[in-house]
Amino acid sequence: MTGRALQYAFRRHFGTSPTGYLRRIRLERAHAALGDADPASSVTVAVIARRWGWASHSQFTVAYRKRFGVPPSHTLRS
């Protein structure tokens, strides 16, 4: 099976590309981590974003807001 055929099969089965699937899982895990974090502790949005593979805090914030409708800082404070 070629790499392209594998990508098409993945898209048919999961409805997204492998990269899109990975991004979704990382966002969901970061969302859970932000919700579980104690806002009074030293944990920050940037720390959690990096923990879940986001090198750019701004790209994480844009993707997070698009997926969840609020900025990640709102989830951390809630």
> Angle at which helices 3-14 and 18-36 pack, to 10 degrees?
50
Q: Are 15 and 49 in contact (CB under 8 A)?
A: no
Q: At what angle do helices 18-36 and 57-68 cross, to 10 degrees?
A: 90
**Domain of residue 27, residue span:** 22-77
* Three-state DSSP state, 15: coil
What CATH number is given to the structural domain containing 35?
1.10.10.60
Identify the pLDDT of residue 19: 92
Confidence of residue 40 (pLDDT cuts 50, 70, 90): confident
- Quote the tokens at residue 69: 């409708």
- Name residue, tokens 């970061």: 30
Sign of CA dihedral 54, 56, 49, 59: negative
Compute the average pLDDT of residues 61-65. Answer: 96
- The whole-model pTM stands at 0.84
Average pLDDT over residues 27-54: 92
Model confidence at 11, in pLDDT bands (50, 70, 90)?
very high
Give the count of domains, the chain.
1
